[in-house]
Amino acid sequence: MGIVTPETLTITETLSLKEPAPKRQYPGALVVVEGIDGSGKSTQLYLLKRWLEIGGYRIHFTEWNSSPLVKSATRRGKQRRLLTPTTFSLLHAADFADRCERQIMPLLHGGYLVLADRYIYTAFARDAARGCSPHWLRNLYSFAPTPDITFYFRAPLDVAVNRIVAGRPKLKYYEAGMDLGISLDRAESFRIFQERILTNYDQMIETDHFVLMDGTVRVNKLQKLMRQIVGERISLQQFAPKKK
């Protein structure tokens, strides 16, 4: 132990001592990654998933905005730019509800370790940046199970924005927050939108017991830390392959 100990680990340790694990009504566990675009969260969750897959653990990976049920509506709304902050938020909530009721909950009851790339905090940060009331959003998603660990990948705004802008020829309308009318320049709008989201995420670090991860740390180093924290907080043994 103690090969890699960035300052972030001390923060997570103090938080974990204060907060006893909430009572669960299911044998499974839920691990979530959150953060703005370009913070490195998806890469890290992918590596965590690979680690667990190779080890033969009972896991399931789920992503934000992936249910076929509401895909056509989301596409239609985005193409024709019909979405308001409220309908944007509700459509994503419906989409999440579908995944929650048909995948996440049954898997948690069935004793799986569920890995989620983005979770309800994405909606809290992003939809509040669009103007929805935080109180309304909290109620909207109150049916969602609380994660066992929420990793919050934080990278400085410039680092994250440059990663995205460099890798993409054109930012999409809603992705760039163009519906907010902040700026006519997409890159500029994206930057301001992401900044608002980042501020909203930061405000949830304490209230929602985020495990803060420094997105500027080298990929393999950060992954090592992530695996260590998962090992400490979740008894992986219960998801291990059963010996015959």
Q: Is 100 in the site for other proteins (CB under 8 A)?
A: yes
Indicate the residue among 141 and 239 with the shorter CB distance to other proteins.
141
> Sheet harboring 113-117: ordered strands across?
59-63, 113-117, 29-34, 149-154, 210-214
In whole angstroms, the minimum distance from the beta carbon of 64 to other proteins comes to 15
Candidates 22-30, 45-53, 76-84, 191-199; binding stretch for other proteins (CB under 8 A)? 76-84
Among 69, 187, 219, 240, binds other proteins (CB under 8 A): 69
Q: Are 68 and 47 in contact (CB under 8 A)?
A: no
Structure tokens at 38: 């370009």
Q: Among 59, 107, 120, 132, which residue interacts with other proteins (rule: CB under 8 A)?
A: 132
Among 53, 63, 101, 188, binds other proteins (CB under 8 A): 101
Considering only 5, 10, 14, 133, the residue that binds other proteins (CB under 8 A) is 133
Among 33, 48, 59, 83, binds other proteins (CB under 8 A): 83
> Of 5, 139, 216, 238, which lies in the binding site for other proteins, with binding defined by CB under 8 A?
139
Q: Does 77 bind other proteins (CB under 8 A)?
A: yes
Question: CB-wise, 73 or 159, nearer to other proteins?
Answer: 73
Min CB(9)–other proteins separation in Å = 37
**Nearest-approach distance from CB 62 to other proteins, in angstroms:** 15
Pair of tokens at residue 146: 């609380």
Number of residues that bind other proteins (CB under 8 A): 30
Residues making contact with other proteins (CB under 8 A): 69-70, 72-73, 76-77, 82-87, 90-91, 93-94, 97-98, 100-102, 130-133, 136, 139-140, 142-143
